[in-house]
Amino acid sequence: MKINFKYFKNAMIDNVACQGVPCFSPKRIAWRPRFPYRANPSVWFHSNYFIDRNSHCSKRNAHLDEFDLEDDEEGGMSPEEIAQRIRQDTEDIVFQEDPPDHKMGFVAIIGRPNAGKSSLMNQILGEQLSIVTEKAQTTRHKVLGIWSEPSHQVVFLDTPGIITNQRDELEERMMNAVTQAIKDADVLIAIVDVTDRPEQALDMIQPGDDWSGPLMAVVLNKMDIMDPNELEDILTWYTDHCKASAVIPVSAQTGENVERVQEWVLENIPTGSSLYPKDILAEASERFFVSEIIRKHVFLQYRQELPYQVTVQVTQFKQRPAPQKTFIHAQVIVEKERHVKLLVGAKGSAIKQLSSASRSDIEDFLQLPVYLDLSVKVVPKWRSDDKQLGRLGYV
């Protein structure tokens, strides 16, 4: 018999408070280490409950303000009994001992907009964690993707495309995320689109003479659509002019040569213990990924500048017992009243199309039937409003 802890509204470990986030996906994408995420690898916060490396959870170190037990209809379980049931329910997901010489490291993926950063991380992980569209600057957040095998664990930091001239507070925060990812990384991967003025990209990614940061590899992406002779010339030019440790041509779309990037990463990250359970793919909550899926379809469906003035916030996420569907309500946030008409369309046709396409991807991602309810909200100048950006998750 399994316990289904739907949420703990507020929880605290070692005097660090965290807000519980619902987690219903069988993919286990919502484990979170105690923040900051590299500070204390011995204590972990699942989006449903806390658990440390020995599966300890007790009244002493976990204060549970609100919970819902699927199989405790009469209630009355003591904190000690709850802790015991947690241990029983999590025996299959607690940490296993790493082998000698186990490798663990953080890898920041940087580059210009639309170079293929998200595609590379998705290809390595085998999951569509970061949204990908043909439009530049689709990625706005630093997205963590975790590649684990018995011999290693690699945390990839997919970052927004580098912008030299930021136009608003949102873009400034996006570039701060890039800077922080570089500081957190053990090694860097700089992606260059070989079909888009590849030589000009060097100035943006070339380490300075006084660089003392992480080792870097340059990945020349989109080799599958480049003439082999031209690709060879670009490879030679980068090898001669770039200070990178390695220059590797790949196709992030097809996966061609991506194994060479993986080999380079494993050769250069340090040894260390796993910081996440081995079957965890990402650090963020389902709410985050659902909002990103909806935003992806905004980019795919709408043209011109509208997608860049839109963000998405999931306001409700309720799992219902079968045969009912999981209920999700999300607000599509825009800056101007005229954007509402564009999003909704004639007789609601456009937003119905957006909801249908988004729901299909969300159900595939969560492996759950979903009822998706979308609404549109106007928040004037949200991209330049420091408080609104913080509330919307742009930290």
Convert the pLDDT of each residue in 66-103 to its tens digit.
333 333 334 455 555 655 655 555 554 445 688 999 99
Report the percentage of the chain scoring pLDDT > 90. 45
Q: Give the pLDDT band of residue 366 (cuts 50, 70, 90).
A: confident
Q: Residue 67 and residue 49: Cα distance in Å, rounded?
A: 10
Q: How far apart are CA 210 and CA 295, in angstroms?
A: 40
pLDDT for residue 209: 72
Question: Per-residue confidence at 21, pLDDT binned at 50, 70, 90?
Answer: very low
Cα–Cα distance measured from residue 41 to residue 25, given in angstroms and rounded to the nearest whole number:
23
- The answer on pLDDT for 64 being more than 80 is no
pLDDT at 383: 92
CA distance linking residue 48 with residue 8, whole number of Å = 6
Mean pLDDT value across the chain: 77
User: What's the pLDDT score for residue 33?
Assistant: 34
Tens-place pLDDT, residues 152-208: 999 999 998 888 888 888 989 999 889 899 988 999 999 999 999 888 888 888 777
Read off the pLDDT band of 61 (50, 70, 90).
Answer: very low
What's the rounded Cα separation, in Å, for the pair 122 and 127? 5
Residue 51 burial by Cβ neighbours in a 10 Å radius (0-12, 13-18, 19+): buried
Higher-pLDDT residue of 96, 359: 359
CA distances to 199, 200, 218, 236, 246 from 241, rounded to whole Å, are: 10, 12, 12, 9, 12
Q: What is the pLDDT of residues 104-122, one digit of tens each?
A: 999 999 999 889 999 999 9
Query: Going by DSSP bridges, is the β-strand pair 50-52/103-111 parallel, antiparallel, or unpaired?
Result: unpaired
Could you tell me which residues come within 8 angstroms of residue 304 by beta carbon, excluding any fewer than 6 positions away? none
pLDDT over 90 at 59, yes or no: no
Domains of the chain: 10-89 (no CATH), 103-268 (3.40.50.300), 286-391 (3.30.300.20)
- Model pLDDT, residue 323: 86
